[in-house]
Amino acid sequence: MNYEPNLSANLKMELVLSLRRAGVTDTDVIATMESVPREIFVPEAFRDRSYEDITLPIGHHQTLSQPGVVGLMTEALELDDRKKVLEVGTGSGYQTAILAPLCRRVYTIERHEPLLREAEIRFEELRVRNVTTKVGDGTLGWGAQAPFERIIVTAAAADVPPILADQLSIGGIMVVPIGLSDDFQTILKVVKTDHGLETEELRDVRFVPLIPGVSTGT
């Protein structure tokens, strides 16, 4: 794939304004999102809208979340260069590419194999080296690599997924959209303590549902 990233100052300013409107204040998150060319993660037909604060289709009935949501969820993870992160739902790889510079390593699972293969090409072209990928059922997490200090889920679950909560380390943070209705979903920030899970609602959203199983079709 050959890309021609549109990195104009006006588009970057639009992105920063979207992040600030969403309440994102972490300067590292904002700087990382400015540096990652969002347009290469969307189909060519939508590239002129890459920096608008909207959700965009990426195929296979999946979507790329609006920048404000990506920024808010990333900030809520409270990342640093020591954290090992599990991402459930690689999608186009955009969220992964935002996480990678902010943590030690990202383990990312995608149930749609064609999406993951396309994302891997983007990671290679962007020289993202601290990402490990797998085609698999994200509802099962990645037990062989658990525990994780941070977990991010990019599809909506009915409740905090218990298997993923089990793979979260004590003191760890999970960010997950909750709610299967199109009318009401909310992002939860979940902190695992010695006494259980503490949750905080961040904002209302609309995500595709978290579905078990693997899809290898085109």
CA distance 134 to 195: 32
CA distance 206 to 188: 13
Question: Does 8 participate in catalysis according to the annotation?
Answer: no
Radius of gyration of the chain (CA): 16
Using DSSP bridges, classify how beta strands 62-64 and 56-59 pair: parallel, antiparallel or unpaired: antiparallel
Query: Which one of the listed residues 65, 92, 169, 181 is annotated catalytic?
Result: 65
DSSP the chain: --------HHHHHHHHHHHHHTT---HHHHHHHHHS-GGGGS-GGGGGGTTSSS-EEEETTEEEPPHHHHHHHHHHT---TT-EEEEE--TTSHHHHHHGGGSSEEEEEESBHHHHHHHHHHHHHTT--SEEEEES-GGG--GGG--EEEEEE-SBBSS--HHHHHTEEEEEEEEEEE-S-SS--EEEEEEEETTEEEEEEEEE---PBP--S-B---
- Which residues are part of the catalytic machinery? 65
